Amino acid sequence: MSSKLNSACASPEEPCTLDMSPMIDMVFLLLLFFLVNATAIIVRTDPNVQPPVASQGKPQEDGRGRIVVNVRKDGSYTAEDFNIILPGEVEIADLVKKEKAKIDILGVVPKLHLRGDKDAIFKFSRTAIKAAASVGVDQVVFSVYAVNPPASAAK
């Protein structure tokens, strides 16, 4: 077999080598393909909202289509960009409607991602849920800090 490779070379003193540049090009193309097709899901958190701790909390399997509304303990609302204050139900509905239109174009089901403070009363969360439902977003994801259940509860 080596005699065939040696006979294919131009001269017997020149070693036979493979050109690796097409292989390197293919690796870079694959890398670019996967980078472009990967979706990074980043949810910015409001530092004024401390979600409750839940022993039965589970990570959401599909993070696409989230419309984040933060509920602070004083009853004020902010969007995912927590510098945007949402004074009431009408403004929440407007935000959800605008974000829903963007998400519908992608073919994903929109969900209200509600980040409520652990000390906020549920009445504030209900207002945000009602506003989202009024514009057609009926799925709600509640954000919590998940902890492992105690060993006695796992049995």
pLDDT tens readout for residues 76-111: 898 887 778 888 889 999 999 999 999 999 888 999
71, burial (CB in 10 Å: exposed 0-12, middle 13-18, buried 19+): buried
pLDDT at residue number 85: 84
Q: Angle 68-69-74 (CA atoms, 0-180°, nearest 5)?
A: 155
Separation between Cα atoms, residue 39 and residue 32, nearest integer Å: 13
SS3 state of residue 142: strand
pLDDT at res. 87: 86
Q: Hunting for tokens 């929440």 — which residue is that?
A: 92
Rounded distance between C-alpha atoms, residue 14 and residue 94, angstroms? 73
Q: What's the pLDDT at 99?
A: 92
**pLDDT for the residue 81:** 78
Q: Which parts of the chain have pLDDT scores under 70? A: 1-14, 39-43, 148-155
pLDDT value of position 155: 44
Domains within the chain, CATH numbers bracketed: 2-37 (no CATH), 53-146 (3.30.420)
Helix boundaries (H) for the chain: 2-8, 21-37, 89-106, 122-134, 151-154
How far apart CA 48 and CA 20 sit, in angstroms, is: 54
**Residue 154: what pLDDT?**
46
